[in-house]
Amino acid sequence: MDRTALDPMTARARDLDARAELRATRARFRLPAGVIYLDGNSLGALPDSVPAAIAEVTTQEWGERLIRSWNEAGWWEAPLRVGDQVGRLVGAAPGQVVVTDSTSVNLFKLMVGAARLRPGRTLVLTDPDSFPTDLYLAHSVARLLDLELRRVSPTDAVAAIAEAADSLALAAFSHVDYRTGERWDLAGITAAAHRVGALVCWDLCHSAGAMEVGLDEAEVDLAVGCGYKYLNGGPGAPAFAYVAERHQAVFDQPLPGWTGHARPFAMTAGYVPAPGIARLRSGTPPLLSLLALEAALGAFDGVSPAGLRRQSLSLTTLFIEAVDALEQSLEVVTPREPDRRGSQVSLRHPDAFAIVQALIARGVIGDFREPDLIRLGFAPLYVTHADAVQAARQLGEVLDSGEFRRPEFSHRGAVT
């Protein structure tokens, strides 16, 4: 690598950061000195507001007020209150998002509920390259309800939906591919499904908090997403579920629990679902992690989804240009066209795992996905253009020096 190749980009990055729409939001996070954190697409960074908020919850609301905080501190309403905050970021009007359970549990609820809304239809379409949990659950739901599951790439989804016609109950896709960072046509696929009377469920794990989603505008039926990636809710943060208002009154979710009952404290033997999105609740919410997520969402105050998208694209565009300037044996897997790109850049290299470990040793934290992908996430609230160029510089030096071949960089822990 020509060590001066990125010098012009370094100056450009400083200028972009000085003029960036989101230049002030990085200060809302606790980021370790000497670290460039490009793994927010796996676990978001810690917002500065969270530790104090959790201390307040544990020492005051729980420690002093004890069980009274269910009423006095708004614990009971938290899943719906935080749901509306998430809803703003994904383009959903209030009353359509609830924060509850995990993405996996919510996806199961929505897929079964969707099938129940389309009795007599026997086909479910999903992406063969979806995150494994999505595929496992789709297979399970198909077995449970005696449905046919057909795997179709989002590239071919519109044609496959038209061909399926009135046999199609549900199309379930991810908005952004977790491996490649490719962003799929949410509005176009949703419209295609509606033309044949089918429903669509979108997995927003790799888009919520990083870009515009526009659930209501696209007339999406159902969606799920996690709270610990771009929403920065912390490890194990609860997920969210979206059910469009038009479906809520008749939505029959398969995991009815006491908190989703119309009168939960009546303790009746028969289940009567709560009105609205509250019927998606099942068990008692994990309050500590839920309230951590609520505090974390304060980092988005004054930030629009469109602003997130502009920053994300500016960061990823600059990084791709910097990688190109390295003239190394790296394949940029993520689409170069902005409209087709999420908020990460994935690079292919046969020694991807070792390269990621060598980068981490240098303070550039990304991650690896089988079999040969380097994933680098550009969370728009706290990653800077200077980070993007410096990460590319470190990547070039790792490749030039061959240090990734050191034995310690081949060791795999339980989490890769």
Which residues are identified as catalytic? 131, 203, 228-229, 375
Per the annotation, does 387 bind a ligand?
Answer: no
Report residue 176: phi and psi, to 5°: -130, 130
CA 25 to chain centre: 19
Counting Cα atoms < 13 Å in the Cβ hemisphere of 91 gives 21
371 is known to lie in a ligand binding site = no
284 is in an annotated binding site: yes
| 203 marked as binding residue | yes
Q: Any binding-site annotation on 252?
A: no
* Residue in 92, 89, 84, 90 with CA at minimum distance from that of residue 216: 92
Burial of 168 (0-12, 13-18, 19+ CB in 10 A): buried
Closest CA to 344 of 213, 205, 219: 205
- 175 has binding-site annotation: no
Report whether 104 belongs to an annotated binding site. Answer: yes
39 annotated as a binding-site residue: no
62 marked ligand binding residue? no
Residues annotated in the binding site, as ranges? 103-104, 131-134, 203, 206, 228, 258, 284
Residues annotated in the binding site for pyridoxal 5'-phosphate, as ranges? 103-104, 131-134, 203, 206, 228, 258, 284
